[in-house]
Amino acid sequence: MTQYYVVASKAELEDNPQMHVDINGTEILLCREGDQYFAVAYFCSHAEFTLEGGTIHNGCITCPYHGAEFDLSNGAVLAPPAWDPIATYPVRVEDDDTISIGLV
């Protein structure tokens, strides 16, 4: 069963479209692209460096260290050097402002 945790408001992601979130020891990167919100693993599957600070464009995040690319919606690898996908988590926007991330 998925439990949702309130992690931010939409306003918190207006100036910077990325936010590091730790939910019970699970490190997550909350991302915004336009009006869409995504939650993915905080660390790249290639070399365990953070994805925070990576470029977000066309539903993809690019690792700022080695250039691996991942689909924000499902974690699939879009470009090497990574070969393994990253985890993704469901996101809800409640009351038109509150952002929650779901964990099983």
- Residue 68 pLDDT > 90: yes
pLDDT tens digit sequence for 42-62: 999 999 899 999 999 999 999
Q: What is the pLDDT of residue 96?
A: 85
* The CATH number fitting domain 3-103, selected from 1.10.10.60, 2.102.10.10, 3.40.50.1000, 3.20.20.120: 2.102.10.10
> Position of tokens 């809800």?
92
Indicate the domain borders of the chain: 3-103
Whether the predicted model's global pTM rises above the 0.75 cut? yes
Q: Report which secondary-structure segment, H or E, holds 61.
A: strand 60-62
Phi, psi of 12 (to 5 degrees): -70, -20
CB atoms within 10 A of CB 91: 20
